Structures are given as structure tokens and as C-alpha cells.
Amino acid sequence: MAIPLEDFFEDIISKAQRGLGIETSVLVERTGLDREVIQGLRRGEFEVDTISKVAPVLGLDTQTLIASAEKSWFPIQPEVPGLHVFHSYYGDMIVNAYLMQLPEKNEAIVFDTGTDCTEILNYLRGSNIGLAAICVTHSHTDHISDLDALRTSMNNPPSYIHVKEPVHGATLIEEGWSLEAAGLRLSIQKTSGHSVAGITYLIEGMSSPIAVVGDAIFAGSMGGGMVSYAEALQNNREKILTLPDNTVLCPGHGPLTTVGQEKEHNPFYPEFKNR
């Protein structure tokens, strides 16, 4: 299943304006644009000149925001043996869950469950693979709806979530936690901002370094700063985009990407652009 980008330029502009708390009247004043023109941007009406005036006021990179509007960029999809992506739906949103399994191991680790774990279960049972752990990035409903179903169907493996986002039956963890299971080594970073205490899981042992980022960052975008936009930006800058460029990013929505591609193509982080 080919997964489209989670956000396009109109989503990015709306998230930045909302996160910064900039009223449309202020944006009109700072850009010299008509209110209707700015409202048109948020409806997906694309003009290069308009984007060029709005992007700097919102702290966005102009050229990558234009590329988003032109739909001219899509991340090159990394290939990592043993990394499986499963999709479910929450309204019209596609939600990602991940399973990681080393080829020589008969155990796996699952990250988030989405809203329907049926395909995950079919894979585990069909391949005769045990489930060593379930690691939850954050407690929003679209990511944990089938946590109980997956646990009870797979002999109740341990599940983990940050201590500030407790979920019934899950072990509560925080930065400093680590785990070795299914031949993999896991550690975490707290990447809050979209949620109170979202977790990024760092995975060693696969053919490439991997970070399961939940809704902290998307290919070419980021999760809305529902708790704190400033905190979300800072955590992504300091804890995700400082990882090695070849680190594969597994977001909660949209396609896979890498740290290197996001530094080059994500409009929210102009400071990483090499121009």
C-alpha cells in the first residue's frame, strides 16, 4: 500500500500559524497580503509569491514549502529487512504501526497498534513469531485502540508507554529506560509537544539505525503542537534531527523517511538547509 504524505503546504501553514498564535490580521499586516489571499493558502490555493511572503513570517523554509505546494517531493523509501509497516484507519486518517524482526529471530517487537491489529496478528501467527514487547509512542486513541486486543491475543507480552501518559496494563517508562528483546536494543527520547509525553524509540540491531517517532515528525511536516508547538519544534530539532542522517524515521502517519531527508526537505526546520 503506497502511503501519501500526511501533510501538504496548506496543513503546514495552518499548523505553523496556529502554533505560533499568529492571528490572520497580524499575518495580513506583516506580509502586506489581503486576508482572502491568506485564507486561500489555507484552502490549498497556491501562488509562489504568496508563499514566499508568508513562509518567513511563520518561521518556515520558503523553497521546501513551495516544493510541498508543487507536490514535487516525496521521500526516497528506505529498505530495511525485517521492518514491516501495518496500516489502519481513524476516520479518514491512515495510521501506522510497525513490527521489527531480525531474520534469524522468532520474536518481534511491535510499535503502536493503530485502530485494528488484525493484520499484525495475521503476520505473527502466519509466520509463527512470538511477540516480545509492544512499545507505544503516545496515548492518542488512533495509536492505541487495539492495544488490549493485541496483548490478549499474543499471551500478554509487556507493553510500555511514558509515565506521563499512563495506559491501563502498560509499564510506565521515562528517559533512561532501555530494553534488549528479540535481538534488538531499544532506548527512548521524550519528544513531547504533540502530546504530553510522546516517546521516540531508538532501535539498534537492524541493518540501519531506526527511530520510531510517533506523531513528533512526519515526512515533510510534523505533528500539530497540540500541547506545545515550541516544545515540539525544540524536541524535533534537538532529539530527532541530530541523529545520524541515515537514521530511518518511522512516523505515526505518512511514509517512512530519514533524518537526512527531513533536514533537507522539511519546511519547519530552515536552519538545517544547506544553501
CATH class of 9-70: mainly alpha
Whether the predicted model's global pTM rises above the 0.95 cut: yes
Q: How confident is the model at residue 4, as a pLDDT?
A: 95
Residue with the three cell numbers 498564535: 21
Q: Looking at the DSSP assignment, which residues form a beta bridge with residue 200? A: 189
Report residue 1's pLDDT band, with 50, 70 and 90 as the boundaries.
low
What tens digit of pLDDT does each residue of 164-223 get?
A: 999 999 999 999 999 999 999 999 999 999 999 999 999 999 999 999 999 999 999 999
Domain boundaries, the chain: 9-70, 83-270
Evaluate if residue 275 carries a pLDDT over 60.
no
Average pLDDT over all residues of the chain: 97
Residue 274: its pLDDT value, please?
Answer: 75
pLDDT tens column, 8-60: 999 999 999 999 999 999 999 999 999 999 999 989 999 999 999 999 999 99
pLDDT single digits (tens) 92-127: 999 999 999 999 999 999 999 999 999 999 999 999
pLDDT at 273 over 60: yes
CATH number 3.60.15.10 given to 83-270: yes
